Structure 1
Amino acid sequence: MKSEEISNFCIGKGILIDKGLLTIFNDANDFESVKLIIERIKEQTGQRFITKTFFENEKVAKKFLSSFPQENQTIKKLKIQLGLSIEISNENTRENIEISELDKEKMKIDDKVKVYPFFSPHNKKIEVDDFTNYFKNRVIEMKKFLQDKNELENLVSISKLSGMRQAASIIGLVYGKNITKNGNIILEVEDITGRLKVLINKNKEDTYSKAEDISLDSVIGFKGFSNKEIFFANDVIFPDASLPIRKKSPIDESVVFISDVHVGSRLFLEKNLLKFIDYLNLETPEFEEAKKIKYLFIVGDLVAGVGVYPNQEKELAIVDLKRQYEKAAELLGKIRKDIKIIIIPGNHDCVRLMEPQPILDEKYAKPLYEMENVIHASNPSLINIGERGDFPGFNILTYHGFSYPYYVNTIPSLMTRGSPLNPEKIMAYLLKNRHLGPTHNTFVQTLPFTDNDLIIKVVPDIFVSGHTHKGGVLYYKNILLLSTTCWEELMPYQEKMGFESDYCKVPMFNLKTGQVKILDFYDEEDSLKKKENKKDVLEIYN
């Protein structure tokens, strides 16, 4: 099928079609289905000028394509070419998530806090097709972030590349990466139409540096030219995430973030946590700012857990998982009730390790479910707070961060820039990739039908993580990145693993002013290991 055929058909129907949609239709290689879709769009919209933005509205696209026979193979193929879900009737986006009444009750969703869980339960046997669709859907979803970037000129699918040395751009999933004997990088890249090798010459320093940081299984854009076998890249384009401005709420209220509390550990810093709780309860001299706090996020590892690593039982003060959560509920129950407490799980909590992780298991964490001001969310989750009237509120992406060590150990720029001590740089890297776990089955295992749950579809205002036990604050393209510290002093096992921890530092964000303050509740007097004195400090970031 040629573009001229589609253009002539549209002219005959009195329709104009934009270049981007014309390219997509041309790649479909199914003239009859294309004609049918064009006619249906005209019938339903009455528009004479059709653009691909029609298909970027998920709700409109779902309703429109539901009118076609679902078993029609040519329509299924065209859905793929249009960048829509393979099974659009089952698609699960942030905009149309349906949460059962039981789950709503468990999560205690209210008007002040809206939870959009990344976790979608699946009760089906895993089959070979699940793995195929897993990566196919990843390419389709990630392509949406890349295809409108100005850098990707003359964008074509891999199967449409000709052997002529003409400028073109492609988008594909990187499934192989090697260094040639001459020092060039060779990537093996595929989209839903084909595969090819992409070469990045070591003499193109900027492009080469970008290519070094590409993770396997990530979806990337490439600009360059090709012969029949190799695409020579002049530029590498990441999906990336950014915001045009930083929001400010009309209401003067604040949110605080903690993680890795590790209740039940022998070295749990309970006195320090109680100092923090006293601060929240306005029982310290600095109560004026504390009065504004309306939200507390706990970003994973509320308890120490049981059997998380070898011989952990020797390092526990509470060896029963239920009793750990009872103790956690006792402590959190001291917090004033007008503060909403949002809890997500981590790798020490009572959930599976596979991501995305569901909300805490009520069997073990029942006391937390009995607290009126506690809201449970999955790991990861997108959570909106502070919506008022015309103000849309702040979208907060919460992710515990279990995958972070893998990227520190494999991505050159993260290895050389002190990222183990600066986890916010890892977070910026994942935003750049628009994915919380671009490389499949590294530290973290994922089920083959949950990949879309780790794609960063909605650009957050705030992205917060824990796990590394290192504090950090960074603005990345107007997105606030926060890494939280821990409430457990360094265990022998952690020392052997090379951990370096920060303790009891709490980021506080004011929704009206946009100011971030780091509150420090750690000092030598409360240290269980009598470390060197660390004075309380209050660091301020604008």
Structure 2
Amino acid sequence: MSNEIIKKFQEAELLLNNNAFSEIKGNNDYEYLISELIEYIEENENDQYVITTQTIRDYQDNEKQRIHEEIKENPKTREIRANQETPYEILMDVSNKSYTDGDINDLNKYFNDRYTKLKKIIQENPEFKQITDLKNTKANIENLNSIGIINNINNTKNGHRILEIEDPTGTGTVLILKDMEDLYESSSTLVKDEVIGVTGSSNGSLIRADEIVHPSIQRRIVDKQMDFSIVFISDVHIGSKMFDEKAFNRFIKWINGNYGDEKQQDLANDVKYLVIGGDLVDGIGVYPNQEKELKIKDIYEQYEEAARLLGDISDIPIILSPGNHDATRLAEPQPAITEKYAKDLCNQKNIEMVSNPCIMDLDNIKVQVYHGRSFDDIVMALNGYTHADTDKIMRLLLEKRHLAPIYGERTPLASEFEDYMVIEDVPDILHTGHVHINSHTKYKGVHMINSGTFQKQTEFQKIYNIVPTCGQIPVINHGALQLLDFNE
């Protein structure tokens, strides 16, 4: 270890005296302290070449000053916000609505509710007003329309695709012929546990599909009027060594009207809401050996730091939804973060704690927030999908009208009496996170946003060549996207 410490400073063209060496060696996280000291000296353009205990004290004092730095609001921004109205309503928040005991009856209620909700949406299609129950498909039927949940997906030895589907009356086997190229290709994005409609014919043992119908969404002809801006962030990961605090502080300064050029400051003055889509902190015990990557190793202190940082935004509503790193139950839907772990945040008057997922009305703009854990399952289940394909994944979820269609894989889903992950009402904006890769596109009139991250590339991401879009913030400004970059 001694040689390793000396080598790191030599590579940075720095020397150590004995007392500084002893103090660094005795630190429980000496590697992180070394990197912080080197960065501190480089940033302050210090001509010092020998690290002493006084260097360590100066670094620590600088950290204390940073922690107590107050970011003040631009007087013009304060005046604008003092005179603006910020009406909002939380339309769906599943906090305190968990009644499941986890037994088989709860699971049946959960899937029955999923089926009922999505069946209703599919039956908005005139072809499915009248359907054939699956128990009645065990006969020769020339033309039928049925609706079911996919239990299994397999391929035959001849290359055809076989679906096992189920409704409350029974099961059915659906054959998708490889010769029907368009249908076969489109069926490649089917996943277990989603609800579909099938048009075709039955020979008594198989339903031969002519068409597969998803609940889907209707294209909007006219966008809603919007004369303000909404900022979207997620995956801040406060407490991580890789949390980019400098970029985040530039963001806080910008939203307070004190950063950027005149155009960017005008945009800040137009902001009425900040929406945070999960993983505000890095958490503890989320994955093996996480403590080695934490700068703040206590969950309470992580949220205290988050409250300090967000406390500089005081006059616009902040809607805060959790993610899989936050201190709430892991199973989705996740209830809101509570005072038990985040007292200072919960007591901040302009912060509204909500569940994951949630739906809100922000001055007549309907926003659905979902952290995005199910993206992992979609990537594992479908060929040709990666974590970088957030726009494709969000489009898929909108077509399936479900935020987490695959049950029992990496995304833990609570078998509630009601399936809160169904997208019953189509939002104006779908906001996701989780994958740390920024994206925006519009699909049938819906803004689909993934808001990237404030966490620099981790060792895990390096292994899988995942390059996060750190410090890039999407803003929906008067119905159009503006992307701000807070990197140096």
Is the 2:451–2:473 Cα contact (8 Å) retained in structure 1? Answer: yes
CA distance in 1 between partners of 2:414 and 2:196 (Å): 22
Residues 158 and 194, structure 1, Cα contact 8 Å, conserved in 2: yes
Residue 262 of structure 1 pairs with residue 237 of structure 2 = yes
- In terms of mean alpha carbon deviation, does 370-379 or 441-450 score higher? 441-450
Q: TM-score, normalised by structure 1?
A: 0.71
Match of 1:312 in 2: 290
Distance in 2 (alpha carbons) for counterparts of 1:118 and 1:170: 31
Paired residue total: 400
Equivalent position of 2:400 in the other structure: 433
Do the aligned partners of residues 327 and 223 (structure 1) sit closer, same or farther apart at CA in structure 2, a change above 3 Å counting? same
More deviation in 366-375 or 278-287?
Answer: 278-287
Q: Which residue of 2 aligns with 1:408?
A: 379
Q: Distance in 2 between matches of 1:275 and 1:199?
A: 56
CA RMSD of aligned residues (A): 1.7
Task: Give distance in 2, aligned partners of 1:254 and 1:300.
Answer: 20
SS at the partner of 1:401? coil
User: Against the structure 1 CA distance between its residues 124 and 139, is the aligned structure 2 distance closer, same or farther, given a 3 Å change threshold?
Assistant: closer
Give the match's secondary structure for 1:267. Answer: coil
Counterpart amino acid of 2:487?
Y
In structure 2, the residue matched to 1:329 is 307
2:106 counterpart (130, 134, 140): 130
Q: Does 1:496 align with 2:471?
A: no
Match of 1:465 in 2: 432
Q: Does residue 1:159 correspond to 2:126, yes or no?
A: no
Matching residue of 1:182: 158
Distance 1:369 1:165, change over 3 A: closer
SS, match of residue 508 in structure 1: strand
Q: Kindly provide the amino acid, as one letter, of the partner of residue 130 in structure 1.
A: D
User: Residues of 2 paired with 1:447 and 1:289: CA distance?
Assistant: 40
Match of 1:372 among 349, 364, 375: 349
SS of the residue aligned with 2:420? helix
Question: Matches of 1:493 and 1:472 in 2, distance apart?
Answer: 21
Deviations 1:81-130 (A, max 9, x none): xxxxxxxxxxxxxxxxxxxxxxxxxxxxx943434214452345333222
Could you say what secondary structure the match of 1:173 adopts?
A: strand
Selected match of 1:210 from 186, 211, 227: 186
Partner of 2:368: 397
> Counterpart of 1:331 in 2: which secondary structure?
helix
2:483 maps to which of 518, 524, 538: 518
1:243–1:459 contact (8 Å) kept in structure 2:
no
Match runs of 1:65-214 below 5 Å? 111-119=87-95, 121-123=97-99, 125-152=101-128, 155-161=131-137, 163-214=139-190
CA distance 1:118–1:428, shift in 2 (3 Å)? farther
Change (3 A) 1:476 1:384: same
Distance 1:176 1:120 in 2: 33
Does the alignment pair 1:487 with 2:454? yes
Alpha-carbon distance in structure 2 between the residues aligned to 1:434 and 1:146 = 10
Q: Give the unaligned 5+ runs of structure 1.
A: 1-109, 387-392, 524-542
| CA shift for structure 1 position 492 | 1.3
The whole-number CA distance in structure 1 between the counterparts of 2:266 and 2:471 is 21
**Residue deviations 1:517-536, cap 9 Å, x none?**
0001113xxxxxxxxxxxxx
Q: Which residue number corresponds to residue 301 of structure 1?
A: 279
Query: What SS is found at the alignment partner of 1:188?
Result: strand
Alignment deviations for residues 33-57 of structure 1 (CA, whole Å, 9 cap, x no partner): xxxxxxxxxxxxxxxxxxxxxxxxx
Match 1:340 to one of 297, 300, 317: 317
TM-score normalized by the length of structure 2: 0.79
SS in 2 for 1:400: coil
What amino acid maps onto 2:269 in structure 1? K
Amino acid at match of 1:266: K
Partner in structure 1 of residue 80 of structure 2: none
> Does the residue aligned with 1:475 lie in a helix, a strand or coil?
strand
**Deviation per CA, 1:305-327, whole angstroms, max 9, x where unpaired?**
11111111111111011111111
Q: Is the contact between residue 338 and residue 346 of structure 2 (CA under 8 Å) also seen in structure 1?
A: no
Preserved contact between residue 490 and residue 501 of structure 1 (Cα < 8 Å): yes
Task: Name the CA distance, whole Å, in 1 between partners of 2:89 and 2:286.
Answer: 31
> Cα–Cα, structure 1 residues 378 and 134, in superposed 2: closer, same or farther, change >3 Å?
same
In structure 1, distance between residues paired with 2:100 and 2:213: 36
Distance 1:246 1:479 in 2: 11
Find the aligned partners of 1:366 and 1:146 in 2 and give their Cα distance. 44
**Equivalent residue for 2:57?**
none
SS in 2 for 1:367: helix
For 2:413 and 2:186, locate their aligned partners in 1 and report how far apart those are by CA, in whole Å. Answer: 26
Tell me, in whole angstroms, the C-alpha distance in 1 between the residues paired with 2:128 and 2:99: 40
Structure 1 residue 301: deviation in Å?
A: 0.4
Greater relative CO, 1 or 2 (CA 8 Å, sep 6+): 2
Paired residues of 1:342 and 1:375 also in contact (CA < 8 A):
yes
- Partner residue of 1:288? 266
- CA drift of 1:133 comes to 2.0
The residue number in structure 2 matching 1:86 is none
- The alpha-carbon deviation at position 473 of structure 1 amounts to 0.6
Q: Name 1:248's counterpart in structure 2.
A: 224
Q: CA shift at 1:271, angstroms?
A: 0.9
**Which of the numbers 274, 277, 282 marks the counterpart of 2:252?**
277
Taking a change above 3 Å as real, the CA distance of residues 157 and 149 of structure 1, as seen in their structure-2 partners, is: same
Q: CA shift at 1:505, angstroms? A: 0.7
Identical amino acids, percent of aligned pairs: 36
- Does the 8 Å contact 1:118/1:382 carry over to 2? no
**Secondary structure of the corresponding residue to residue 394 of structure 2:** helix
